[in-house]
Structure formats: structure tokens, C-alpha cells
A and B are shown apart, each in its own frame.
Chain A
Amino acid sequence: MKHHRHLVRAGAALIGAALLFFVVRALVMPKSFGRFGHFRGDNIAEQAAIPAVHGAPEACAECHMEVAETKVAGKHASVPCQDCHGPLALHITEAGKEQMPMHRSFTLCARCHQQLAARPAAFPQIDLMEHLDVVGAGHDALTTNEAICFDCHRPHSPSPALAPGTKTKSR
């Protein structure tokens, strides 16, 4: 009956292979894999822990109340601060307070107000060249004075326009 030994050997090899499989599996698989589904459960918390770059919309007003009041009373009330000024993380850093980059260019204003067929008709839009004609600035004003919009429009409360040349740097 020595033929039985073949079966015993094969059986032992199978059990050994199965054991090896589970040992390797336990070593290779991350601990939290499968806790909530077919993925590494710890990743949920890792993703949530990434720091935010943009601040909450009300964060700016905590320090810049005056500007926030001007903005809320004007036509740009719904425009988020960080759209034009950049994310809060550039301003409040681990090293302290940093100067916010200022994008004072007509291209910034044109992003919303350049006349386009695809924009909703009720949204205030201008044909830039036509507008320069109307205010009598001339077409080459854009190349000589990038911040030309701010000559008449206060960015935080752009309407009504001021007399050209009033040059309100801010507010």
C-alpha cells in the first residue's frame, strides 16, 4: 500500500501551497484593505486630511471688513475674492503673511465681461474695442495701460463708473 504515500504528498503540497498563499496575502495586503469595500479603507481619511488651498468664502472678511462691505453693497457682491486675488494659502502661509499677487489687467475683467454669444444675454458685457471708443481712450490704450479698466471702475464696486482718470487704486 505504498501508493498511498503519493496522495499524502500531494495533499501536503496542496495544504502547504494554501498556507503560503494566505501568509503572502496577509503580508502583501494593506491592513485596511476590504474594511469598507474593495479598497484600502485608510485612504478615505488620507484624502480628507489634505489641506485646503482656497479659504472659505467668508474668511477674507475676517480681516478685510472694509473691502468686504464695499463689495457686498456693489455689483461685484457675488464675485468671490479669491477669483481675482488668488487662493488664501498664498496669503496666509506657515511663514506668516505674504503679499497677495494682484492681477490688475483688463484681461481679468474680460474673462467675465468681454461680449460673447455664449454668455447669457442679461449678463453685463462689453465689446472691448467699442467700449474704448465710447469712453474715448483709443484702441492702443490696452497696450500702454494694462490696468485701464481701473481708471474708471473700482474693482470692488465697479458701477457706476467714475470719471476717467480719477484713478482709484483700490476699493
Chain B
Amino acid sequence: MAGAAITVALLRITPAQAAEHAIGMLPGTNYDPEEHLYAYVIDITKCIGCGMCVQACSRENKVPDHFFRTWVERYTVSEQGEVIVDSPNGGKDGFKPITPGFKVAKSYFVPKLCNHCANTPCTQVCPVGASYNTPEGVVLVDPKRCIGCGYCVQACPFGSRFINPVTKTAEKCTWCYHRVTKGMKPACVEACPVGARMFGDLKNERDPIRKIVTEAHLAILQPEKLTKPRCYYLGFDKEIR
């Protein structure tokens, strides 16, 4: 009896209460998180490696120098299958020609960012409940609760997180949550001059992202980790890690 009572008290909330607390509109807006489910698609075949996305991200989110919420990698593959991956300053200043020391069979750019996994290893390891998934599928960090232990930085298989050297808290791509809740796209998506980065709402019937996510041939990073990323890649290649 006592055990049951303590369990109920510890949970603090019953399913009925949870329903009562349905998030509803964010204060001062007509944005309801429950009405959205976001997805991000990256078209590798279109990316020109200009790095405007990385620059826009760092300006939009005041990302400290040498840290990246999104970055662009260049894959250079030889005829024998050797792979060189480089990302000078995360691609923020663009790329310069390289001499890889072998005959280049193919080469391409791969933009990367937080995959906003549905099955997140990073939020699971947070000891203080600072990292969480929003109803729209966005993975966020509460800087007021984060103690900067860095467990989540280690847990992320994609290297998407870092400890901000100024605030000493974990930081990551938020899909520009402060922009998408205002009806805009993430800064990286709006900065892309060739449309290689796409973002949209799967719960919006008119959003072109729905057609892409349901009909196109998409790949995800490290599917063997079973994290269920919400970032999808078009034109994926076997060398990409």
C-alpha cells in the first residue's frame, strides 16, 4: 500500500493529469507544439560546399568560434577506395582545392547537424533532465538545468554536441527552434543557395517535405545505432560515416 502510494507520489502525475496538461499554445503565440512534427532532408548531390549554412548558423545562434552546431564535410575518394575527409573550420569559410595524393575517383560534400533522433541516446543519459525531446521531435537542452557533465556529448554517436566554453553547458543544433516556432525555417536552410537543405512539417499536408520523406529514397547516418534520426539524406554514399 505504502509502496504504491509512494510510486504515485514520485511520478507526481497521472495519465489523466498528463492529458489535462496537454501543452497547448506557447504563451504569447498561436503556435501549438503538438500540431507539428518536423523532418530535415539533406540533398548531397546539390551541396556545393560554400559553407553559408555554417556561417548563418554561427551568427544566428552565436556559436563560439571553433565549435559547430552544423558543419560540412568533404569526402574525397580514390579509385582504390581510400577516403579522405576534411572540414576546415567546419566549412564555415568555404573550401579550397586540395591535393589528396591520389587520383580522385569521386568527391562530394556532406552537411551534418544534430539528427534529432526519435530514440535519443543523449537525452537518456542526462542525469538532471536538462535534455529532452519536444512534441515536434526537436531535441533541446535546458541551459538553466544543464550542469555541464558532458555525458550527452559522449553519448551522441554523431558528434553533434559540445560544451559551450562560455556558458559551460551542453549545446547543440535546435533546428532553430526560436525560428521555426515563429513560422520561419532554420537559418541553415534559409542560407542554402542551392536548396540542398530542406526542412518541413510532416503534420502539414501542403508541406513538400512530406512527399520527399514518404516517397524519395532516403538514407540516415549510422542506422546500426538504432537512434531513428529525423535528418534524412538524398544521394547518400557508402563512404559516409
Contacts and interface: CB of A to CB of B under 8 A. Distances in A.
Interface of A: 18, 22, 30, 33-41, 43-45, 47-54, 56-57, 78-80, 82-83, 86-87, 107, 110-112, 114-120, 123
B13 interface: yes
B184 A48 contact: no
Given A39-B142, A47-B140, A111-B50, A57 B178 contact: no
Contact of A56 (B45, B48, B184): B184
Contacts of B27: 45
Contacts, number: 136
Interface stretch (B125-133, B147-155, B214-222, B226-234): B125-133
B132 A79 contact: no
Contacts of A115: 97
Nearest to B176: A52
Contacts of A112: 48, 50, 94, 193
Interface string B91-124: 0011111000000100111000000000000000
Main secondary structure on chain A at its contact with chain B? Answer: loop
Nearest to A77: B193
B195 interface: yes
Q: How large is the interface on B (under 10, 10 to 19, 20 to 34, 35 or more residues)?
A: 35 or more
Contacts of A82: 56, 190-191
B74 to A, nearest CB: 5
A52 B60 contact: yes
Contacts of B157: none
Most B Cβ at <10 Å: residue of A47, A86, A115: A47
Contacts of A118: 49, 74-76, 95, 107-109
Contacts of B6: 18
A48 B29 CA distance: 10
